[in-house]
Structure 1
Amino acid sequence: MLTHPDLQRLPGALEASRTSVELESRALRGLWERNEGALRVAVEAIAGISGRLVVCGLGKSGHIGKKVAASMASMGIPSFFLHATEALHGDFGMCTGQDAGLLISSSGTTKEVVEVAGMMRLIGMPVVTMSSNDTSPLAQLGCANLNISVERESDPLNLAPTSSAVTTLVLGDALAVALQGLLDFTEEDFGMRHPGGALGRRVLAERGFDHA
C-alpha cells in the first residue's frame, strides 16, 4: 500500500502516466529497422538447431524472457526459460549442444547472464543476445545482438525498466514471429498447444477434433 498518498498530486501523476505512454510508444520507432540485420542472423542461428531455444535473464529482463519463451513454445518453437542464477547452481544441465540461447540483459553486464552465455558457448550452443549496448560483454558473446536501447525510461526518475522492457518484449515477439514464419505451422498446431483455452477449443472443434 502507498504510504500517505497526497491526492492533490493526482493531476501531475496522471500527466506522468500520459508521458509514460508517449515515451514507450516513441521507443518503438525505428526498432525493427535498426535490428533488421541482427534479426536475420538470429533467425538463421536458431533455425539451424535440432534442440530447443533456452531463454535466460534476471530481474525484469527475466520476467520478459519468461513471456518470450512462452510465446515461442505456443508458436511451435520448443523453448523454455532458464533462471540465470539457478543455471549457475546446476540448472545449466538442462542445456545441450543441440540447443540455442537467447540471453537478455539491458546493460549487457549482468554477471550471471554473461557467465551463462559463456557456458553456452563452451558446449557449442549458438548464442543470441538482447542488450542496449552492442559492445557490452554480453553482446560480445553472441552471434547477433538485438539492440533494446531507448532514449529514456518512461518513469519520472528515468530508472525503472519501462521503455526498455517494451522494446525487449517487442523484439522477442518479432523474433518468435519470424521463426514461426519458417515453420509449416497451422491453426491445428496452434489449437493443439492451447486446448484448454476458448481459442484452441474453437480451432479444434472447427476441424472435427474433440477435447474432453
Structure 2
Amino acid sequence: MEDLIQRTARETLSIEAEALSKLAASIGDDFRRSVEAIHEEHGRIIVTGVGKTALVAQKIVATLNSTGSPAFFLHAGDAIHGDIGMVQPTDVVLALSRSGETAEIELLALLVRNLGNTLIAMTSAGESTLARRADHLLLVPFEREADPNGLAPTTSTTLMMAMGDALATSLLALRGFSTDDFARFHPGGALGKQLYLRVDDLYRHNAKPSIYPTASLKDTLLAMTTGRLGATAVVDRTTDKFLGIITDGDIRRLLNARRDIDQLTAQDIMTPQPRCVRADALVVQAASLMQENSISQLIVLNEHGIYLGMIHIHDIVREGLI
C-alpha cells in the first residue's frame, strides 16, 4: 500500500513537471501578443470557463487582481443567460476550455465577437472552435492527465493555472508593478506587513528606558527592570544623544567576570555603537538585523542620532513576521 501511494504521487508530480517544462518552452509570440493586447486595452480582464476550468478561472482572477490587473470572473453559463451585460467595451475576455468545444464557451465566443471585445482563448486544442474564433491564442500543450486513468483534470488544470500565473506576472512586469503597489493591495497578513509596517509603528508602544553615563549599577538595573525590554540606552545628559546600550547579557557577563562592581557606572558597562535602526525602516529589516546579529532589541534613532526608543523581537513576533 505504501509503495503504491508513493509511486502514484511521484508519477503524478513527474507528469505535471514535464508538462510544465513543455509549457515554458512553448511561450512565444502568441503569448506576447496576448499580453500586449490586454495591456493596450486598459480595461478589465474577464476570465470565464465551465466546470473545472471555471475554478481555474477564479484562481487566475485572484492572481491578476492581487498583482494590479483588474479582473473578474464570469461563468460562461451565466454569461450566455444575461450576465454578458457586465462586459464593458474596453474589457478583454479570456476564455478557458481544454477542448475548445464546450457548448457554453462556443456560444460565449460568438457573443464576445459580436460585442467587439478582444477575445483570448486558453485551450489545448489549437484547431478548436474557440481557438478559431479568438483574436489571440494561449495554447496549452497537453498530452495526458496525471491520474492513473488519465481522466481527472489534473495536468490540464495545473497547466492552465501556470499559464495564468505567467500572464499575471508578465503584465506586472510590463506595468512596472512595485513592492509598494503590492503592499497597497495586500495590507492584511504577514505578507503585507513585510511591505508596509515600519519601526515607527511599533517602538512608540514600548517604554523608553534610559540612563546617563554616570548612573550606578543599581540605577542601571532599575531602568532595565522598569522598561521590561531587557536593556537600557545610555544617553548624553545635555543633548539626549545616544551613547551606548546595556543589555541583561552585558550584566550577566559582568557578574561572571568581575567581583569589584560597586563603583562601576553605566559608562563602564555599556556597549558603544551597537546595532541601531531608523524609525522609518521597515520592521522586516529590523527583524533581519536582530537575527543576523543574534540580538533581542534594537535602539531606534532619528537622523541626528537622538535616542527615540527601542524595538524588541517580541514586537516583531506579535506581528507574525518571525
Instruction: Return the TM-score normalized by structure 1.
Output: 0.89
Q: Does 2:7 correspond to 1:15?
A: yes
Summarize the Cα distance change of 1:75–1:188 in structure 2 as closer, same or farther, 3 Å threshold. Answer: same
Counterpart of 2:108, as a letter, is V
The corresponding residue for 1:205 is 197
1:186 aligns with 2:174: no
- Once the two structures are superposed, the pairs formed by residues 3-82 of structure 1 within 5 Å of their partners are 9-82=1-74
Question: Are 2:151 and 1:163 aligned?
Answer: no
2:231 is aligned to none
Quick one: structure 1 residues 154 and 52, their matched pair in 2 at CA, closer, same or farther if it must change by over 3 Å? same
> What is the CA-CA distance between 1:33 and the residue it aligns to?
2.6
For 1:179, the aligned partner's letter is L
Deviations 1:133-165 (A, max 9, x none): 111001111122212232211001001111111
Other-structure match for 2:257: none
* Range with greater deviation from structure 2 (29-38 or 84-93): 29-38
1:196 is matched with which residue? 188
1:123 aligned partner: 115
Matches of 1:145 and 1:152, distance apart in 2: 20
Structure 1 residues 97 and 15: CA distance shift in structure 2, 3 A: same
Residue range with higher mean Cα deviation, 155-164 or 197-206: 197-206
Who is 1:87 aligned against? 79
Asked whether the 8 Å contact 2:22–2:141 carries over to 1, the reply is: no
Is residue 2:166 matched to residue 1:174? yes
1:29 partner SS: helix
Aligned length, in residue pairs: 202
Letter paired with 2:79: A
Query: Secondary structure of the equivalent of 2:46?
Result: strand
Deviations 1:3-52 (A, max 9, x none): xxxxxx45323322221111111111231232312111101111111320
1:160 is paired with a residue of what secondary structure? coil
Change in CA separation of 1:188 and 1:208 when aligned onto 2, cut-off 3 Å: farther
Q: Does 1:154 align with 2:141?
A: no
| Structure 1 pair 73–209 and aligned structure 2 pair: CA distance change class (3 A) | farther
Larger radius of gyration: 2
8 Å contact kept, 2:46–2:94 = yes
4+ residue segments displaced more than 4 Å: 207-210
User: How far apart, CA to CA, are the structure 2 residues paired with 1:103 and 1:206?
Assistant: 42
Q: Distance in 2 between matches of 1:200 and 1:134?
A: 40
- Pick the aligned partner of 1:103 from 87, 95, 107: 95
CA distance in 2, matches of 1:209, 1:43: 39
Gaps of 5+ in 1: 1-8
- What is the percentage of aligned positions where both structures have the same residue? 37
Q: How far 1:202 sits from its partner (Å)?
A: 2.6
1:131–1:209 Cα change, 3 Å = farther
Aligned partners of 1:32, 1:206: CA distance in 2, in Å?
A: 38
CA distance change for structure 1 residues 152 and 201 in 2, over 3 Å: closer, same or farther? same
Amino acid paired to 1:25: A
Q: What amino acid maps onto 2:195 in structure 1?
A: V
Contact 1:41 1:143 in 2 (8 A): no
Q: Which amino acid aligns with 1:172?
A: G
> After the TM superposition, which of the residue ranges 109-118 and 70-79 deviates more from structure 2?
109-118
Whole-angstrom distance in 1 between the partners of 2:10 and 2:36: 39
The alpha-carbon deviation at position 178 of structure 1 amounts to: 0.8
Distance (Å, rounded) in 2 between the aligned partners of 1:120 and 1:209: 49
Per chain length, whose mean CA-contact separation is higher, i.e. which structure has more relative contact order (CA < 8 Å, sep 6+)? 1
Return the TM-score normalized by structure 2. 0.60
Amino acid at match of 1:32: A
